[in-house]
């Protein structure tokens, strides 16, 4: 599959080094539970980037739905995300 150079550059700009967007997301979820909207604000991230990182965390088994919902900036109810209880994140960075 051919990946556009601009797509590759965009990916690398948010996933570079030990302080990637995903790492920062996991660090925040170690402290508290957040909606995607709240994480977008805290990490100054676009919705598309943050929702993709949450999805990655869910698929990796690191993040799950807390069962709670909170309103977003647009006053819609959103899932509150949490780290899976009793498990270390599997991202390999020791978070």
pLDDT at 67: 97
pLDDT by residue for the chain (95 residues), tens only, comes to 565 676 656 656 655 555 689 999 999 999 999 999 999 999 999 999 999 999 999 999 999 999 999 999 999 999 999 999 765 556 554 44
H helices of the chain, in order, are: 5-14, 21-31, 36-43, 47-60
The predicted structure's pLDDT at residue 15: 54
Q: What are 20's two structure tokens?
A: 């990637």
Residue 85: predicted pLDDT: 72
Q: How far apart are CA 37 and CA 42, in angstroms?
A: 9
CA 71/CA 38 separation, integer angstroms: 10
Residue 52, classed as helix, strand or coil, is helix
Q: Output the pLDDT for position 47.
A: 95
């Amino acid at each position: 599959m051919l990946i556009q150079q601009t797509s590759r550059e965009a990916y690398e700009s948010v996933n570079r080094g030990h302080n990637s967007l995903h790492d920062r997301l996991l660090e925040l979820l170690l402290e508290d539970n957040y909606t995607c909207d709240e994480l977008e604000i805290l990490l100054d991230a676009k919705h598309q980037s943050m929702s993709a990182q949450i999805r990655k965390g869910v698929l990796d088994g690191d993040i799950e739905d807390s069962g709670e919902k909170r309103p977003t900036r647009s006053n819609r109810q959103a899932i509150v995300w949490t780290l899976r209880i009793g498990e270390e994140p599997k991202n390999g960075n020791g978070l």
